[in-house]
Amino acid sequence: LTSERYSVQRLPFSMVSEEDLASFECIIPGRVITDPEELEVANVDWLRSVRGCSKVLLKPRTTEEVSCILRHCHQRNLAVNPQGGNTGLVGGSVPVFDEIILSTALMNQVISFHDVSGILVCQAGCVLEELNHYVQDRGFIMPLDLGAKGSCHIGGNVATNAGGVRFLRYGSLRGTVLGLEVVLADGTVLDCLTSLRKDNTGYDLKQLFIGSEGTLGVITAVSILCPPRPKAVNVAFLGCPGFAEVLQVFSTCKGMLGEILSAFEFMDAECMQLVGQHLHLTRPVRESPFYVLVETSGSSADHDMEKLDGFLEQALGSGLVTDGTVGTDQSKVQALWALRERITEALSHDGYVFKYDVSIPVERFYDLVTDLRTRLGPRVKHVVGYGHLGDGNLHLNVTAEAFSASLLAALEPYVYTWTAAQQGSVSAEHGLGFKKKDVLGYSKTPAAVQLMWQLKALLDPRGLLNPYKTLPAHL
């Protein structure tokens, strides 16, 4: 078997036999799925750009069941593809060939929540939005939020080290995740599920699994620190006349809003056009080349509004912003956020999407977008830039009528060399998965990549967990 578009060869893993299915049926009775319709969904990624041909989907409920499954797979040399909500954007969540799909969909129980510390412990398959509702009812929020919240699992978020729109305020999962329970490739349960803020006893093993994209172990439970629910949330949606002004608005925001600034997102005019065209969302301010979304979260509505008013007066008065609107009630806040959060969805309706997710110095942020518009010309539909400007993370997306190898050749390695020349990251938050595994070397040294392979060999000597993903071919 060879995957045509990517020219990958199937590694010599065993094929799932009737006996294997019978063993799985003993471990998880009634939850061994071989129904072609259900498998079709699990074999295709969210972007519909990577498709595997797995014949079996397993749905364990407990850590013990995951452990028994992996022990069996290890003994039988069967490859496994861990899957959460299948919202990943780099083809890591679906099999490349016939890997067994191990889904966390039924591992959706909250284990404990402490309403003084705000520490939540839950199974890996809890849906992010459901967790947010759960902790909100108790006066807290999840430290991360992203457009895929309605489907993505917390285990998938941890496995990809997802960033999202709260990163600016609450930081990386590397800080907010306090503990993990992980099942290793041979079935060993590694219990690092502590709920301690401070713990310097030996190496911090959980960090190995955060962002490891299912290649080092299956995350079965997560302990995570939730911040208190802000009493006041305001969103300002602003139009800017140029990218230089976008950067000045960011500096002004940091200076004037300081501790209440909770998000700073940006999108260009083409993004706004696409959310209008494909999702029928209406532009809330006059047309501008750029738009920014500024969110404040604080404990006093009057104090926050006073600060926000001061900032808006300054930004409008100095011409940094040409038009703006503010949402204070939940429905307007959500409507303004939808303009930014649903860009991904709008792009998916526009055609084939070439997605790039880079960290580069904000001063050079938009140069990459304009460079590519010139380079690609009329053979593409749109070249758009949006993203988490406050975190230095640009989402650069190109849409075309269909996938084309010549277009891909015009984009890659150009985008990667451009990024590497800025000492940037070729994958800021989505990970490498299947689609980007070969570009790791643009952001990491050969010695670092070598050590990654050594860690993989140590934890998964047979290479059974998410093969063909994350790491490039051996040096």
Q: Which of residues 349-368 bind ligand MLT (CB under 6 A)?
A: 357
* Residue 395 sits in the site that holds ligand MLT (CB under 6 A): yes
Smallest distance, ligand FAD to C-beta of residue 166, A: 9
Q: Shortest distance, CB of residue 395 to ligand MLT, whole angstroms?
A: 4
3-state secondary structure of 309: helix
The CA-CA-CA angle for residues 348, 363, 423, to 5°, reads 85
Q: Are 436 and 411 in contact (CB under 8 A)?
A: no
Q: Which of 344, 399, 419, 443 binds ligand MLT (CB under 6 A)?
A: 344
What are the structure tokens assigned to 6, written together?
A: 């990517």
Cβ within 8 Å of residue 86, ≥6 positions away: 41, 42, 45, 46, 93, 94, 151
Q: By CB under 6 A, is residue 86 in contact with ligand FAD? A: yes
Within 90-149, which residues bind ligand MLT (CB under 6 A)?
147
Structure tokens at 283: 């532009």
One-letter identity of residue 390:
G
**Is residue 387 involved in binding ligand FAD (CB under 6 A)?**
no
Q: How far apart are CA 364 and CA 360, in angstroms?
A: 7
* Torsion on CA atoms 137, 139, 144, 147, rounded to nearest 10: 40
* Binding-residue total with ligand MLT (CB under 6 A): 6
Q: Which does 156 bind (CB under 5 to 8 A by kind): ligand MLT, ligand FAD, none?
A: ligand FAD
* Residue 435 sits in the site that holds ligand FAD (CB under 6 A): no
Q: Which is nearer to ligand MLT, 156 or 387 (CB)?
A: 387
E strand or H helix that includes residue 298: strand 290-298
Residue 252 vs 466, nearer CB to ligand FAD: 466
Angle at 210 between CA 164 and CA 59, to 5 degrees: 95
Choose between 135 and 219: whose C-beta lies nearer to ligand FAD. 219
Residue 322: CB minimum distance to ligand MLT, A: 24
271-310 residues near ligand FAD, rule: CB under 6 A: none
- CA distances 317 to 77, 100, 323, Å, are 67, 59, 11
Q: Helix, strand, or coil here: 17? A: coil
Place of tokens 């093969």: 467
Contacting ligand FAD within 138-197 (CB under 6 A): 146-148, 152-153, 155-157, 159-160, 162-164
Looking at beta carbons only, is 321 or 471 nearer to ligand FAD? 471
Note the residues at the interface with ligand FAD (CB under 6 A). Answer: 46, 81-89, 92-93, 104, 124, 146-148, 152-153, 155-157, 159-160, 162-164, 213-214, 218-219, 344-345, 429-430, 433, 466, 469
Note the residues at the interface with ligand MLT (CB under 6 A). Answer: 147, 343-344, 357, 387, 395
